[in-house]
Amino acid sequence: MRSQRLEEISRIFAVEPFVSLRELSERFPDLSEMTLRRDIEALEEAGEVIRVRGGARSVRFISRTGVDSITKREAENVDGKRRIAERAASFLEPGRSIFLDSGSTMRQLPSFIPEEKFSFTTTDPKLAVDLLRSGTAVVNMVGGRVERDNQTVTGLQATRFLTDVNVDIACLTPAGASLENGFTVGSYNECEVKRIVAAKARRTIVLVECSKLGKSLPYTFCGIGDADVLITDAELPDEYRRRAEESGVAVVVAV
């Protein structure tokens, strides 16, 4: 029976991101290639797979993350970013007002967010859209001018907007982290936003990729000691760790 076979093939695509026609022929040795072709075509019409040269790809394995020209930066150290994001997700508390910074690290977060009644506020338009995929969260977008290079909302309107918002938990991502200058970014406007958020937050979580360590950019939004939690993707140098612990910062190394 055909429908039965379609189910079986469908089950293969539930596990494999790509199946070639040849593999399929091996699994069904007494069927002609043409029949398997037609089966794949039927699955494509059902929206389960996409036919590509040589076989078909399962839509389940096609991720929409990173659909952009800034993918270059985004593609760097994805693994570290994901590990950091995963840890950060465990600090989120339902019912609280949670601020999420913009940036490629934060954009890894949505896939780790459980289905709870979170209330998010963010300056990142892309992140806002991704957060909506969680069916239960409320998503607030900060208004203001969108900066071209880092795709974040800043400016007078943004700061004004944020003064009217309560923030319980803030997740912030600096562009640099150094002992001398603390957590820094390269844009004044962006700094202003982060500074306001950090000042308002009951709890500030700073997410730092190890590549940012030792770097220092023009504007500081808070000192290392001002964070409540510091999440990194690699063991901190001793100096940093000592400084953090002196100030009561909880250090989380996401490995």
Six-digit token string for 23: 């593999």
Among 8, 17, 27, 32, binds DNA (CB under 7 A): 32
Tell me if 57 contacts a second copy by CB under 8 A: yes
CA distance 105 to 112: 12
Q: Does 214 bind a second copy (CB under 8 A)?
A: no
Rounded to the nearest 10°, the torsion over CA 73, 82, 103, 239 is -90
> What is the Cα–Cα distance from 61 to 113, expressed in whole angstroms?
19
Closest CA to 191 of 147, 154, 151, 141: 154
Candidate residues 9, 39, 105, 124; the one interacting with DNA per rule CB under 7 A = 39
Scan residues 48-67 and list those touching DNA (CB under 7 A).
Answer: 51-55
Q: Is residue 163 a contact point for a second copy (CB under 8 A)?
A: no
The nearer residue to DNA, 5 or 241, going by C-beta atoms, is: 5
> Which pair of structure tokens corresponds to residue 50?
């996409």
Residue 126's binding partner among a second copy, DNA, none (Cβ under 5 to 8 angstroms by kind) is a second copy
Find the helix packing angle between 33-45 and 2-15, rounded to 10°. 70
- CB closer to a second copy, 68 vs 239: 68
- Under 8 Å between Cβ of 204 and 229: yes
Query: Where along the sequence are the contacts to a second copy (CB under 8 A)?
Result: 6-7, 10, 14, 46-48, 50-53, 57, 59-60, 62-69, 71, 75, 125-126, 128-129, 132-133, 135, 138-146, 148, 151, 153, 157-158, 161, 164
